[in-house]
Amino acid sequence: MENNNPNNIPNEEAVIARRRALAAALQRSEPVIVTPTGSVEIEGEADENGLSGIEVPAGKLA
């Protein structure tokens, strides 16, 4: 799981694009899941991609 390719630009762009989508989803309070590697995924997209994980319980930041 080590991030051993930090200068890989396309990968970095993909990460940024993914974060943008996630930020928008979080702003809309859409449900997200966390996969076994700890990756945070938008629930609807995770279903489409066949990913499973634990649904983050409802609640507010302390």
Partner 1 sequence: MAFYWYQRDPELYKAEVETMRRFFPSFKINQLPDGSGRLYWRGKVQPAGEGGMVWDLMLIYKNDHPHATGGEYGGSVQILPVQPRLKDLAEKMMPLILETYGTYDNAAAHGFGLGLPHIYRNNFGRNEEYFICTADPKYFKAGLNRSTSAASALSWACKWIILCEMWLNGEIGDDLALEGNY
Residues near partner 1 (CB under 8 A) are: 1-3, 5, 8, 11-12, 14-16, 18-20, 22-23, 26-27, 29, 32-34, 36-41, 53-62
Alpha-carbon torsion (49, 47, 50, 5), positive or negative: positive
Query: Shortest Cβ distance from residue 37 to partner 1 (Å)?
Result: 5
Query: Shortest Cβ distance from residue 7 to partner 1 (Å)?
Result: 11
Query: Shortest Cβ distance from residue 46 to partner 1 (Å)?
Result: 11
Per the CB < 8 A criterion, the answer to whether 29 and 60 are in contact is: no
Distances (CA, A) of 38 to 1, 20, 54: 10, 18, 10
